[in-house]
Structure 1
Amino acid sequence: MLIAILVAAGLWAGYWVIGAQGVKSGYSDWFDARRADGWSADYSDLALHGFPNRFDTTFTDLALADPETGWAWQAPFFQVFRLSYKPNHVIAIWPDQQLIATPGDKFDVSSAKMQASLITEPHSNLTLSRANLVADTLQIARRGHDATTMTALHMAAQKQEGETALYRIALAADDLAPSSRFRKMVDRSGGLPHTLSAFSADVQIGFDRPWDLSAIEDSRPQPRRIDVKLAEAKWGDLELALAGELQVDEEGRPKGRLTVKARNWREMLDMAVASEAISRGFADQLAGGLNLIAGMAGNPKTLDIPLDFRRDLVFLGPVPIGEAPVLRLR
């Protein structure tokens, strides 16, 4: 019995050593491939621990940048934990400070904790099956500005059974506090509370292909169908809710209908004008029609209206109110 135990232990130790070498080599090859594609992809150290049951990888001074899309990410460290006997289950841990650059701006992100659990489909190119992300005391600050904060962010995504690229995504932010710059711009009277009492979304999105490793290496999957079960935000006496379904063509133009419910909608129009999202003249014209609709429904403070997306425009009833957004992920 003792000999059998020692042999088994030796075989398992050998498996871990060989597996660890394979994991480390795989990461190194991935970074080499990104550099060959023109990326900036660097780290100062790659350490692997976790014997005997895990492959725990820590990258130090990590920097990734894709010049083609304009996205970049820098972090003092990043950790990826994988069970040696279940390699398709991954735990990712972010540092308390990181930098994210988009094609339009740079953002400093800080948190007390940020980690995710991801399960990929076996024998695939890391095709996402389901994921959960939790961030505590999250702050997101545009460079040169103060931060938008929240005490917690919860996000979950799950690939729907029997579908190749249909995902159910849920998101909720606790105690979301807009930046003071945004608050001063849209709430000049100072009447709104410091935090939103609700900010959440439950959406089902069908993409043109599954989310897998190629989404990082090559290009992002693009939405083709968006089913908004419910998205809502509540800020003081202001309440906004969306539901509906959109089809998205290859150019990213949506078609379909979203139903919007807005409480104290006039104040929302004033905020849109203050933030320069719309002009005062257009807001006054829009308010006239919306006031009539709200009055016909019996409550002049609450709107419950459909927005139709067609011919690259957004329609309120028969009246076009603006261009439809282009829904493409860069």
Structure 2
Amino acid sequence: MRRLLWLAVLVVLLWSGWWAFAALSLRAGITDWFEQRRAEGWQADYAAIRVSGYPFRIALSLRAPALADPATGVAVEASVLRLTSPAWWLGEADVIFPDDRILLASPEGRSSVLLEDGHAALRLTPGSALELRALRFGASAWTLEDPAGTVLTAGATEVSMVQDEADPARYTMRLNATGLTPGQVPRQRLRIPQDWPVAFDAFGARMQVQFDRPWDRRALEERRPQPQQINLSRAEIRWGELLLMASADLGIDASGMPWGTVPLQARNWRAMLDLAVSAGALSADFRPQVERALSALAGAGGNPERFEVTLTLERGQVRVGFLPLGPAPRFILR
């Protein structure tokens, strides 16, 4: 009996020592990372850091974290960030976001996001590189605002990025947002009619992206992995009478320029042209040419309000058949 008691005491002492080592290592890793970012010219601050969760978990609370990358102009600030993981492996971390506003800034302007039950699950592969195996984000509701007012709101939202087992540089990404609702800011800018539905009926996508290297700790310490190939299996947007479905098979060169094809299906496409002109994405002078071309395509399919077309991206341009639509977007992650 005495031996069992001593054995139990020894196990408790060993486990306590391991927990203390893991907790202090996590704390030191966070503080060292912030110090390294400051040495690189970032704004990287926090008010306090606290570790708890003994005996089976490690829970870290970071008060008032604030990060700003001068190279990209992107900044984020929150009241608190909570991270929890099993004591035996810190690479299976769950992040709990605050229930008050998270402040965002970029070269495009300032905004804030308010999350309800905002959480993320981070799964890393053991090893010095800490490759990203899976990243999932979810919220039961959220609101995005800028100084002019509400930009977007949505209900249950899920975003995921999962590493391919056969190719560590390939990731499957999914997005689904229920009840996505444009606020008054985009409705006014796009001149959306007041009788249009308030919320999207469907908003989701699934794709595979091949990067030039896996996502790991170098994505934060050096540069982001850059996409080399995008295979969009399905994207669907339904908003009242509007329907837009797309797939894509794109290659991307070292400068971020894409080439390939994007099959599109659209219903009530004339209303989409109205929105594109209102938003400035399509020149009003160029609209008649686009409308004539799309009318011909829709007429060939037998339904003048619905058409199927394939966009071709090559040499930095987007075109439908011989008709140029404008410059192709660059895919560069900064």
Q: Same-fold call, TM > 0.5?
A: yes
1:319 aligns with 2:320: no
What is aligned with 1:262? 266
**1:15-56 deviation line (CA, Å, top 9, x unaligned):** 111221222112111111111111111111000001011111
Task: Read off the aligned partner of 2:213 and give its amino acid letter.
Answer: R
Q: Percent identity?
A: 34
1:75 aligns with 2:73: no
Displacement of 1:282? 0.9
Matches within 5 A, 1:31-110: 31-96=34-99, 97-110=101-114
Separation (CA, whole Å) in 1 of partners of 2:300 and 2:306 = 11
Aligned partner of 2:219 among 212, 215, 219? 215
**1:206-246 deviation line (CA, Å, top 9, x unaligned):** 11111122212222211110000001100000000110200
Task: Read off the aligned partner of 1:254 and give its amino acid letter.
Answer: P
Look up the SS of the partner of 1:278 in the other structure.
coil
**1:55-113 deviation line (CA, Å, top 9, x unaligned):** 11111011011111111110010111121112221111111220111222111010111
Task: Read off the aligned partner of 1:161 and give its amino acid letter.
Answer: E
What is aligned with 2:178? 174
Look up the SS of the partner of 2:182 in the other structure.
coil
Matches within 5 A, 1:6-21: 6-21=9-24
Aligned partner of 2:199 among 178, 190, 195? 195
Matches within 5 A, 1:228-307: 228-307=232-311
What is aligned with 1:120? 124
- Which deviates more from structure 2 when the two are superposed, residues 305-314 or residues 276-285? 276-285
What is aligned with 1:4? 7
Aligned partner of 1:25 among 5, 11, 28? 28
Displacement of 1:188? 4.2
Superposed structure 1 runs of 4+ greater than 4 Å apart = none
Separation (CA, whole Å) in 2 of partners of 1:16 and 1:199 = 43
TM-score normalised according to structure 2 size: 0.96
- Which deviates more from structure 2 when the two are superposed, residues 306-315 or residues 276-285? 276-285
Separation (CA, whole Å) in 1 of partners of 2:47 and 2:112 = 21
Displacement of 1:309? 0.4
Look up the SS of the partner of 2:275 in the other structure.
helix
Displacement of 1:272? 0.8
TM-score normalised according to structure 1 size: 0.97
Separation (CA, whole Å) in 1 of partners of 2:96 and 2:10 = 35
1:204 aligns with 2:208: yes
Structure 1 unmatched ranges of 5 or more: none
Separation (CA, whole Å) in 1 of partners of 2:6 and 2:192 = 78
Tell me how many residue pairs correspond in the alignment: 330
Separation (CA, whole Å) in 2 of partners of 1:103 and 1:194 = 29
**1:276-296 deviation line (CA, Å, top 9, x unaligned):** 221222111100011011101
Separation (CA, whole Å) in 2 of partners of 1:103 and 1:214 = 24
Aligned partner of 2:163 among 159, 162, 165? 159
